Amino acid sequence: MELLTPNISIISLTIQTQPTNAQSLKPYGQAIPFTLTGKDRYHFQPNQRDTKDELIIISFYSYSNEKRHASIYIRIAPNRNLRRRGWERLKLSEGNGFSAYRLYTNQGDGTTRDIVIIYGKPDTANFLSRIPDDTHLGEITLPGTHESCALYGYPISQCQQPSTPIEQQLLDGVRFLDVRLRVVGDELLMYHGPRPQRSTLTALLTVLDQFLQAHPTETLILSIKEETPPWHPHFSEILYKAFEPFLDKWFLEERIPTLAEVRGKGLLLSRFDTDKDGMGRWEQGMGIHPYTWPDSRKEGFEWDCHGTKVRTQDWYRVHTFLEIPEKFNAIMTHLTPTLTAPQSPTFTLSFLTASYFPLSLPTIIAKGFGFPSWGLGVEGINSRMCKWVLERMSNGERVRACLPIDFYRQCAGDEGLAELLVQMNLMGE
């Protein structure tokens, strides 16, 4: 077995027989020798015997605070769920402030890889503070949400949990927000399809402004698209008026900046054109403004944003849940080039989301259904993505991309996939 423990020191590894009452577990028993095999990496081998009822106890502490101790108890023999799904989140028996996962994968040579990953919980609300100023935004792993305000309209229109409004998303590390607006009267309301989402653009901009003032090291990207039909002839003019009180907090140049240029500011991604009456309003620019956005192209598309190549994958017309593996393969294919630093400035935007009525609703694509580990049901995109991200982390690789997600807290505990993506930025510190 392997251990990957960035910024964590191992105190001891012990093995003991699992008692009937789990409450009586204590970190004692036969010690297991372990060796350092690389930076933050250890290897250990339990005795070869019947391990069905035996536990490994891993005790450790944080480099930054030696008083932060914790322990994890792991059954040596992987259970059915771990063998089939390939990963699981581990519970800490004591100690707070840490996250732990076990990754169990079959190798090409017929062997298995069994690795435990432990790290200190990142400060997701301020994680960009730990990234150098001169970092290009395309070099950062950015968690995002798709239809960020779509908290209502289950099962067709809802894409996020009601417990994760925008305020919570930002605290959880989400830095890409995708909103769809419709003009009703003289106001811009949040919509997803036919369903209103009980909020307005003005309310959203107020929340974003408050977050950026309280967290001046952070930035965020706000993607705006008009939800149609019908098209409103004055959409961009009404939108500009909503932005006007907050313009000093927005970067509107049409290029991808470095982090230093946008700390404490928002960056607009405008998926709309300027209408006739709005001409001259957007004097500073419209932020990242795609000149092309092919509808649901499986292989993705590219365009140039003033010297930065923008790679986008937004294949969302997945007609049935049987195509979930194909959608996931499209995501992996699109993200694999980002695992190595690009030769020229690149920004990658890859949507993990899809929907199509009635056999691939947003909740089915994200969460799957049934009991996949028992061969009954289909594993969703989020769980598949958790495994893929853990594999990349275990290999010392990092995704350089922005990843909009539906129901981002659906797997891996309350912190969800967003925390794993935030942690990717910090693994090499």
**Tokens for 291?**
């000149």
Instruction: Tell me what the mean pLDDT of segment 231-256 comes to.
Output: 94
Whether residue 22 has pLDDT greater than 80: no
Question: Which residues 6+ apart lie within 8 Å of 120 measured at CB?
Answer: 7, 8, 62, 64, 68, 97, 98, 99
Side chain identity, residue 26 = K
Whether residue 10 has pLDDT greater than 60: yes
Q: Which of 2-6, 32-36, 296-300 has the lowest mean pLDDT?
A: 32-36
User: Domains (ranges, CATH) in the chain?
Assistant: 2-120 (no CATH), 124-424 (3.20.20.190)
The CA-atom distances, in angstroms, between 200 and each of 186, 232, 274 are 11, 16, 20
**Tokens for 100?**
């732990």
Instruction: Tell me what the mean pLDDT of segment 324-336 comes to.
Output: 98
Fill in the DSSP letter of residue 288.
B
Task: Identify the band that residue 18 occupies on the pLDDT scale cut at 50, 70 and 90.
Answer: low
| Each residue's pLDDT tens digit, 289-321 | 999 999 999 999 999 999 999 999 999 999 999
Task: Specify whether the CB–CB gap between 89 and 34 falls below 8 A.
Answer: no
Task: Specify whether the CB–CB gap between 130 and 178 falls below 8 A.
Answer: no
**Tokens for 17?**
């027989």
Counting DSSP H helices and E strands in the chain, the numbers are: 9, 24
Task: Identify the band that residue 51 occupies on the pLDDT scale cut at 50, 70 and 90.
Answer: low
Whether residue 20 has pLDDT greater than 50: no
Which residue in 403, 387, 404 sits closest to 395, CA to CA?
387
**What pLDDT is stored for residue 277 in this prediction?**
59
Question: Which residues 6+ apart lie within 8 Å of 72 measured at CB?
Answer: 57, 58, 90, 91, 92, 93, 100, 116, 118
Phi-psi group of 198: left, alpha or beta (phi > 0 → left; psi -120 to 50 → alpha; rest → beta): left
For residues 385 and 193, the model is more confident at 385
Whether residue 257 has pLDDT greater than 50: yes
| Each residue's pLDDT tens digit, 385-403 | 999 999 999 999 999 999 9
Strand partners, 145: 177, 405
Question: Which residues 6+ apart lie within 8 Å of 14 measured at CB?
Answer: 27, 28, 29, 30, 31, 32, 56, 57, 59
**What pLDDT is stored for residue 26 in this prediction?**
53
Question: Which residues 6+ apart lie within 8 Å of 336 measured at CB?
Answer: none
The segment with the largest mean pLDDT, out of 36-50, 73-87, 191-205, 255-269, is 255-269
Instruction: Tell me what the mean pLDDT of segment 405-423 comes to.
Output: 89
The pTM (predicted TM-score) of the whole model is: 0.94
Whether residue 79 has pLDDT greater than 60: yes
Report, in angstroms and rounded to the nearest whole number, the Rg of the chain calculated over CA atoms. Answer: 23
Strand partners, 76: none
Instruction: Tell me what the mean pLDDT of segment 152-168 comes to.
Output: 95
| Each residue's pLDDT tens digit, 163-174 | 999 999 999 999
Handedness of CA 428, 390, 98, 402 (dihedral sign): positive
Question: From CA 46, how far away is CA 29, in angstroms rounded?
Answer: 13
Question: From CA 302, how far away is CA 290, in angstroms rounded?
Answer: 10
**What pLDDT is stored for residue 27 in this prediction?**
47
Strands (E), 233-343: 250-251, 266-271, 301-305, 308-313
**What pLDDT is stored for residue 222 in this prediction?**
98
Give the chain's mean pLDDT. 91
Helix axes 381-394, 416-424, angle to 10 degrees: 20
**Tokens for 131?**
């990234």
Task: Specify whether the CB–CB gap between 353 and 406 falls below 8 A.
Answer: yes
**What pLDDT is stored for residue 372 in this prediction?**
86
